[in-house]
Structure 1
Amino acid sequence: MARKTRASFTFLPFKKEKERIEEVLKETYCNKSAAAKLLGISRVSLYSKIKQYKITERIK
């Protein structure tokens, strides 16, 4: 599966962006540094988006 690039991630609609973040967090076992790197955003931005989208820490 090809990775998403920074440009394609930043222009995702709200629901798709939230789903992509949850998907990557599952892939990385909630390792936020690794997830941010895969998404092509900073760790601080990822934390902001987690808060904005009310993503829970326990992703199954």
Structure 2
Amino acid sequence: MLGYGREITKSRLFGYGSVTQGSQFTLAISTLIEEMSTKHAKKIQTIQAEQAVQKKALLEEAES
């Protein structure tokens, strides 16, 4: 903690509760990021499957 002296720490400057709340906030953000990543991956798989079906239909249509 520059500018506050050698003995100052985050918990002394902001109080123990704020450090705990920061940790909880970080955990909540990490959880949200994981959930969004999972949803994104599933959505990509769905789109790729739909594209494969459309491609097959177009190839069959072109052959006939």
TM-score, normalised relative to structure 1: 0.29
TM-score under structure 2 length normalisation? 0.27
**Is the radius of gyration larger for structure 1 or structure 2?**
2
Higher relative contact order (CA 8 A, sep 6+): 1
Give the structure with the higher percent helix. Answer: 2
